[in-house]
Structure 1
Amino acid sequence: MSNKPSPRVLTVLKSVQFTSNMQRITFKAEDLSDFNMESEGGYIKLLFNDNGGTDLSGIPDGTRPMMRTYTVRNLRKEQNELDVDFVRHHHANAAMTSETGGFASAWAQNAVNGDTISIAGPGSIKGLNAEADWFFLVADMTALPALSAKLEALPTTAIGYAVIEINHSSDKQDLAKPQGIELVWVIKSDEKGLTDTVRSQEWKAGRVAVWSACEFNNMRALRTYFRNEKEVDKDDLYISSYWKEGCTEDGHKVAKHEDQLAEG
């Protein structure tokens, strides 16, 4: 008898391209009762076979499927529905292999109503200290869904910044946020990149809570800025890389692990 856990199956209800480079897929599940509201902005893992397909029946017992991590953007628990936002990548289907890490993007761009995919999760990520005097949020497009959920959870009186790197000006979104949070959009092709834009914001007085998620190299630069230069307390600092330039998700995991070991 197999001890392999049964993954949860989601069915595509709707797929909409809502900016130049973002696709939102609405999924239906049989039961999401074990999700809580903290799952909104948390993560799930989409499961694929070695060929990038969603049929897992041929995967031998004891062998893990290929996994790609995505954020739960919206959760409608009563309807057993959730939304996941995908960054659209513009390469030929032939390039969508385990080496390029394009499984999820390719699947999402071609998904139609009725398609199914298995997932693991949910998982949660560190929130923001609501007692802080001000807030500094940072994301690129891969972390924009998570940042959006964090913005919605902030106190209505919150002040600070949300610096967001996007691929094109048409990727700007209308985000629900406290009035005192300033949105700063950074176009990826701009000479002044994400890290420099973050550093150029005026540092406010008082205790800050930082939430930052982006590409691996930007993460390391921002970690140095927030932790070493600005001396943000570790309890008030969440900083993570969601991907690494030139790496699959599996290669990125290796880089993160090596970085954590080096950091001690």
Structure 2
Amino acid sequence: MNKKPSPRVLTVINSTQLTENMQRITFKAKDLSNFDMESEGGYIKLMFNENGGTDLSGIEEGTRPMMRTYTVRHLRQAQNELDVDFVRHHHANTVMSAETGGFASAWAQNAVNGDTISIAGPGCIKGLNHNADWFFLVADMTALPALSAKLEALPATVVGYAVIEINHQSDKQKLTKPQGVEVVWVLKSDTTSLTDIVQSQEWKVGRVAVWSACEFNQMRQLRTYFRNEKEVDKDDLYISSYWKEGCTEDGHKVAKHEDQLADD
């Protein structure tokens, strides 16, 4: 039975274009007391009506809103504020627009101070085992906000890699990270793919903790690499897809479920 979530309303108080293809929206809420620092890097679900608007008053009882999942990039609990980073889409027929269903991206690019949106959450994702000897983080632009939060939470003395696929050279961001973590930027237009660049990194000695989130087909390739070829222990491996090429988020959800059933 579908149960309509009890939404929390957020109000836009600032919008900043971080890079060529990334927009940051700052929200204010009446109360974020049930958010904690584990929520930073976790997720919320933005709610839309069937037309991509944020007015939920016309949604029938027992019908769920359209929901799109995004990362809490920064949380300022004392001020009841949080930041969410959105990948900007310039053309309606782009792959990235397809993965979001267009709703969240279009809304974020046009949001102005005072606009409101309802959300569900927060939810947390699996963290990194800080007892590992080294760390391997992988993301495309949809997962860059979550990877950035994971980097910031790592102890200052750790070593490893953060391999990040971006849409354009200008999408590189200044990341707060341990000095021993090497950041490798991958351009989406390059002939060498994200998965190839990941596999070309020298494998370090000792126990590794892996955190990886990207497109569905890339995720499956990386899962095979980390789990089967490198035999990373399942307790030290978080790997997920945040979108699927050519699919809306709803279609991606179905693909993920089918993949999980086949993988079990």
The two structures share one fold, judged by TM-score above 0.5? yes
* Structure 2 residue aligned with 1:166: 166
Over residues 3-23 of structure 1, what are the superposed CA-to-partner deviations in whole Å (9 max), with x where a residue is unaligned? 844300000000011100000
* Structure 2 residue aligned with 1:35: 35
Paired residues of 1:129 and 1:209 also in contact (CA < 8 A)? yes
Please state if 1:191 is matched with 2:191: yes
In 2, distance between residues paired with 1:47 and 1:161?
Answer: 35
Paired residues of 1:42 and 1:146 also in contact (CA < 8 A)? yes
In 1, distance between residues paired with 2:181 and 2:234?
Answer: 22
Paired residues of 1:14 and 1:26 also in contact (CA < 8 A)? yes
Give the gaps of 5 or more residues in structure 2: none
In 2, distance between residues paired with 1:88 and 1:4?
Answer: 29
List aligned pairs for 1:110-189, cutoff 5 A.
110-189=110-189
Paired residues of 1:52 and 1:98 also in contact (CA < 8 A)? no
RMSD value, Cα: 1.7
* 5 and 251 in structure 1: CA distance in 2 versus 1, 3 angstrom threshold: closer
* Structure 2 residue aligned with 1:212: 212
Cα shift at 1:98: 8.8
Cα shift at 1:90: 1.1
State the aligned residue count. Answer: 261
* 4 and 177 in structure 1: CA distance in 2 versus 1, 3 angstrom threshold: same
TM-score relative to the length of structure 2 = 0.96
* 243 and 99 in structure 1: CA distance in 2 versus 1, 3 angstrom threshold: closer
Cα shift at 1:101: 0.4
Paired residues of 1:159 and 1:181 also in contact (CA < 8 A)? yes
TM-score relative to the length of structure 1 = 0.96
Cα shift at 1:97: 9.4
Paired residues of 2:99 and 2:243 also in contact (CA < 8 A)? no
Over residues 228-250 of structure 1, what are the superposed CA-to-partner deviations in whole Å (9 max), with x where a residue is unaligned? 00000000000000000000000
Over residues 147-200 of structure 1, what are the superposed CA-to-partner deviations in whole Å (9 max), with x where a residue is unaligned? 000000001111000000000000000000000000000000001110000000
* Structure 2 residue aligned with 1:85: 85
Cα shift at 1:35: 0.3
* Structure 1 residue aligned with 2:107: 107
In 2, distance between residues paired with 1:231 and 1:204?
Answer: 13
Q: Residue type of the partner of 1:127? A: G
Find runs of 4+ consecutive structure 1 residues off by over 2 angstroms. Answer: 3-6, 96-100
* 104 and 132 in structure 1: CA distance in 2 versus 1, 3 angstrom threshold: same
Cα shift at 1:212: 0.2
In 2, distance between residues paired with 1:175 and 1:99?
Answer: 25
Paired residues of 1:43 and 1:71 also in contact (CA < 8 A)? yes
* Structure 2 residue aligned with 1:66: 66
Please give the secondary structure, in 2, of the residue aligned with 1:118.
strand
Q: Residue type of the partner of 1:60? A: E
In 2, distance between residues paired with 1:97 and 1:51?
Answer: 15
Paired residues of 1:19 and 1:172 also in contact (CA < 8 A)? yes
Please give the secondary structure, in 2, of the residue aligned with 1:147.
helix
Q: Residue type of the partner of 1:150? A: K
* Structure 2 residue aligned with 1:52: 52
In 1, distance between residues paired with 2:145 and 2:106?
Answer: 19
In 2, distance between residues paired with 1:71 and 1:99?
Answer: 15
Over residues 118-159 of structure 1, what are the superposed CA-to-partner deviations in whole Å (9 max), with x where a residue is unaligned? 000000000000000000000000000000000000011110
- Percent identity of the aligned residues? 85
Q: Residue type of the partner of 1:71? A: T
In 2, distance between residues paired with 1:79 and 1:16?
Answer: 19
* 99 and 89 in structure 1: CA distance in 2 versus 1, 3 angstrom threshold: closer
Paired residues of 2:18 and 2:24 also in contact (CA < 8 A)? yes
In 2, distance between residues paired with 1:54 and 1:13?
Answer: 16
